[in-house]
């Protein structure tokens, strides 16, 4: 054999041997580290293709000191200069924002103490009051307030939602009740009839009987007009079975365990799961300025540009507030917590003091509140939501503790080809019994006001939770590439965090956004667009964040509308729009050539003395489910859609207004919006 077959030259082959040896050593180290990180629960495939990663210099630049350190302070992503390159830049933003939010709060965040998201730079959002309004509550570092038990996601109208077997999301309208307490339903003539009794036929067809014992013909639920253009159902209980009926009288075939009217979650350690919503300083001052009509033209979307941010920074500065990190833009955080007592590996959790209710638990089917207690809580899940350059609909990302729940089967691309990871429930899970089998994700309890009640046939007890879409995309080979990106960036980020960093115990399970920042519609929701957090959407998995957050305006945040400003700006600083001086002249200039007198189109006479009463809180003729002008709600004011030409996107018809002549100017449209957001005050 030639000597060259035995001798390795100093160049070429030697370099390759050294390189392969290093790769092998590093792979062993990575696998060993993974075993140490996640020995008690979920594991990440160490051989996933590195299709989305964070470079070592980039990761170091995230840290305030410019160097990676144990439990070190991470800066927020620069959302103003967000690169907007799908998909990896969105996932990198998500990872950096989570590490920032869960960093020890530096001194610049209100003196330090606690974590960034619990620092004085953030505000708790209160529960709704009797008038459905919310308030900002300043933070005390390291303390959580306003924890609640509800795990059910609310729809765009603030109603509970269900998912049918086709994956469609329906809002559940409140039942209509007669004075005697019996539920009402419409008969074939549209009359409201009291339901005396009901039964289910073999095909699950409901039969409703009136007080005379007669069958109510062609029964239909009573749905508010403003909900008629949305997927809406009403709930009826027949022989203890929940039945959901749409406005046409059809029974909606829901997935098992999806009757979500206040379902709550209980961990295997016996702790209830508590939830809280917080927003950052930019969000709070943007809302305060907007609702005080400081910003002109009136903003209908969260800030995404330097110009928009500058207005918020200047407004805050006038009122004595300086943002420590304004380029984070508007951020909303929802987090989930359990009592720390009894957790076998408490050091792996981010913890904080919190005040939670106490219960009389003597009845296994009904727990009644007895008071409150302050305890140590452990973080189990977090939604990170924020506006970025080009995306007013916000990026929606979610994170979970590795010990939460097992994954359903999923496929990913390894360095040697596609691989499938089988479902395996064996292990010490917080929300699933070891070795559990179907049924999964079925509620055992629900909150009713301050009380907790069991869901038949269960007692108040822990349920078994499974993460249906492990990395935010549907099961099957078609999701392998998306799954691989999420696994790869987890491997990349967690592999660079120092051993012992508590954030190493939380995994990123996906993020979603829309194409080009557009309003969400079927097909434009991208990223991992079927993701759910197993602690927050436990019983509604398989949908998309934008099934309920259906806008790219400020209404995409369900707390924006009900939130009161931090403070009021004196009237001598901001003058509210005057209808006679600002709005009527628009109708006079652009509209009354057609819209005047008894023969005005659609009966809409826009002449002075008539226009206001025919606009405000009056149902549109073209779209009766929407008011022509709805005070404080631009998105649901049909006239705005008509002058902007977007009526088709909300179920309207006809053409853009005005029908003849030139369209309204941007300044005129903004004046109308500002007037609406000021409450549409009368002349």
For the beta carbon of residue 183, count every other beta carbon within 10 angstroms. Answer: 19
Give percent above pLDDT 70 in the chain.
Answer: 88
pLDDT of residue 26 exceeding 50, the answer is no
CA nearest to 385, candidates 471, 280, 273, 507: 280
Average pLDDT for residues 355-381, to the nearest whole number?
Answer: 92
DSSP code per residue over 371-382: EEEEEEEEEEEE
DSSP state of 650: G
Backbone phi and psi for residue 246, each to the nearest 5 degrees, phi listed first: -85, 175
Task: Tell me the pLDDT tens digit for each residue of 148-167.
Answer: 775 555 677 767 777 665 65
Among residues 381, 390, 401, 151, which one has the least CA distance to residue 264? Answer: 151
User: Tens digits of per-residue pLDDT, 571-595?
Assistant: 555 556 679 888 999 999 999 999 9
Q: Give pLDDT tens digits for 458-490.
A: 999 999 999 999 999 999 999 999 999 999 999
- Residue 411's pLDDT is what? 98
Q: How far apart are CA 279 and CA 221, in angstroms?
A: 38
At 10, the pLDDT band (50, 70, 90 cuts) reads very low
pLDDT by residue (tens digit) across 635-661? 889 999 999 888 888 888 988 999 877
The neighbouring-strand residues paired with 446 are 263, 453
- Is residue 28's pLDDT more than 50? no
Tokens standing for residue 87? 């998909």
> Can you give the residue ranges of every domain in the chain?
1-37, 101-152+265-556, 168-254, 579-677
The pLDDT of 183-190, averaged and rounded, is: 90
Give the β-pairing of 366-388 and 451-454: antiparallel
Per the listing, tokens 């057609």 go with: 594
The pTM is what?
A: 0.73
Compute how many other C-beta atoms are within 10 angstroms of the C-beta atom of residue 624: 13
User: Of 394, 345, 397, 353, which is closest to residue 99 (Cα–Cα)?
Assistant: 397
Q: Determine whether 77 is exposed, middle or buried from the number of CB atoms within 10 Å of its CB (0-12, 13-18, 19+).
A: buried
The pLDDT value given to residue 241: 67
pLDDT at 37: 37
Nearest by Cα to 349 from 374, 383, 376, 379? 379
| Cβ atoms within 10 Å of 31's Cβ, excluding its own | 14
SS (H, E, C) 316-346: HHHCCCCCCCHHHCCEEEEEEEEECCCCCCH
Average pLDDT score over residue span 231-256: 77
User: What pLDDT does residue 181 have?
Assistant: 83
Q: Is residue 196 within 8 Å of residue 210, measured between CB atoms?
A: yes
CB 195, CB 225: distance < 8 Å: no
Q: Which residues contact 47 (CB under 8 A, 6 or more apart)?
A: 27, 414, 415, 416, 419
Provide the pLDDT for residue 486.
98
pLDDT tens track for 376-391: 999 999 999 999 999 9
Report pLDDT for 84: 95
The string over 256-266, giving b where at least 16 C-beta atoms fall within 10 Å of a residue's C-beta and e elsewhere, is ebbbbbbbbbb
- What local confidence, expressed as pLDDT, does residue 257 receive? 34
Asked if 53 contacts 492 with a C-beta cutoff of 8 angstroms, the reply is: yes
User: What local confidence, expressed as pLDDT, does residue 212 receive?
Assistant: 93
């Amino acid at each position: 054999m030639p000597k060259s077959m035995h001798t390795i030259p100093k160049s070429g082959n030697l370099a390759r041997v050294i390189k392969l040896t290093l790769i092998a050593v590093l792979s062993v180290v990575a696998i060993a580290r993974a075993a140490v990180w996640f020995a008690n629960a979920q594991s990440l495939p160490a051989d996933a293709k590195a299709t989305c990663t964070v470079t070592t210099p980039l990761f170091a630049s995230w840290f305030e000191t410019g160097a990676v350190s144990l439990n070190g302070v991470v800066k927020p992503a620069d959302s103003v200069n967000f690169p907007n390159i799908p998909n990896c830049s969105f996932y990198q933003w998500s990872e950096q924002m989570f590490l920032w939010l869960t960093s020890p709060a530096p001194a610049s965040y209100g003196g330090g103490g606690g974590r960034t998201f619990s620092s004085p730079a953030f505000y708790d959002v209160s529960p709704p009051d009797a008038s459905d309004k919310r308030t900002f509550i300043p933070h005390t570092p390291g303390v959580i307030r306003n924890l609640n038990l509800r795990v059910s996601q609310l729809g765009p109208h603030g109603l509970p939602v269900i998912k049918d077997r086709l994956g469609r999301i329906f809002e559940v309208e409140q039942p209509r009740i007669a004075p005697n307490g019996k539920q009402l339903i419409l008969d074939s003539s549209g009359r409201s009839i009291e339901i005396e009794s009901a039964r289910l036929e073999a095909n699950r067809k409901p039969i409703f009987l009136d007080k005379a014992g007669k069958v109510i013909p062609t029964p239909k639920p009573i749905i508010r007009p403003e909900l008629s253009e949305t997927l809406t159902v009403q709930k009826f209980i027949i022989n203890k079975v929940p039945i959901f009926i749409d406005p046409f009288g059809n029974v909606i075939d829901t997935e098992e365990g999806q009757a979500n009217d206040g379902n709550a979650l209980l961990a295997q350690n016996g702790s209830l799961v508590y939830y809280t919503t917080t927003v950052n300083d930019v969000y709070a001052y943007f809302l305060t300025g907007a609702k005080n009509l400081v910003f002109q033209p009136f903003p209908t979307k969260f800030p995404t540009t330097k110009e928009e941010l500058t207005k918020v920074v200047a407004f805050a500065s006038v009122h004595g507030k300086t943002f420590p990190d304004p380029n984070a833009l508007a951020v909303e955080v929802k987090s989930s917590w359990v009592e720390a007592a009894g957790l076998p590996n408490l050091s792996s959790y981010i913890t904080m003091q919190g005040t939670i209710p106490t219960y009389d638990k003597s009845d296994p089917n009904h727990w009644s509140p007895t008071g409150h207690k302050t305890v140590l809580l452990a973080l189990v899940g977090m939604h990170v939501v924020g506006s970025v350059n080009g995306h007013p609909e916000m990026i929606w990302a979610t994170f979970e503790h590795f010990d939460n729940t097992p994954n359903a089967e999923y496929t990913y691309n390894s360095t040697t080809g596609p691989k499938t990871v089988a479902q395996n429930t064996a292990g010490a899970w917080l929300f699933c019994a070891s070795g559990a089998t179907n049924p999964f994700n079925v509620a055992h309890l629900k909150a009713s006001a301050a009380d907790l009640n069991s869901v038949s046939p269960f007692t108040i007890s822990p349920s078994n939770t499974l993460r249906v879409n492990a990395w935010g995309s549907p099961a099957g080979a078609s999701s392998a590439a998306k799954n691989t990106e999420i696994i790869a960036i987890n491997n990349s980020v967690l592999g660079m965090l120092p051993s012992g960093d508590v954030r190493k115990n939380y995994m990123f399970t996906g993020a979603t956004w829309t194409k080009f920042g557009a309003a969400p519609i079927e097909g434009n929701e991208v990223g991992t667009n079927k993701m759910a957090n197993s602690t927050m959407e436990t019983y509604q998995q398989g949908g998309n964040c934008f099934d309920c957050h259906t806008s790219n305006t400020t209404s995409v945040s369900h707390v924006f509308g009900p939130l009161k400003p931090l403070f009021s700006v004196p009237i001598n600083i901001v003058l509210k729009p005057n209808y006679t001086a600002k709005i009527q002249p628009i109708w006079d200039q652009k509209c009354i050539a057609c819209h005047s007198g008894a023969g005005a189109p659609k009966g809409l006479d826009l002449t002075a003395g008539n226009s206001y009463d025919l606009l405000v809180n009056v149902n549109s003729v073209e779209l009766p489910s929407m008011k022509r002008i709805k005070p404080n709600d631009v998105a649901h004011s049909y006239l705005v859609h008509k002058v902007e030409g977007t009526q088709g996107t909300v179920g309207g018809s006809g053409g853009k207004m005005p029908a003849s002549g030139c369209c309204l100017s941007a300044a005129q449209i903004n004046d109308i919006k500002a007037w609406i957001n000021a409450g549409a005050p009368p002349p």
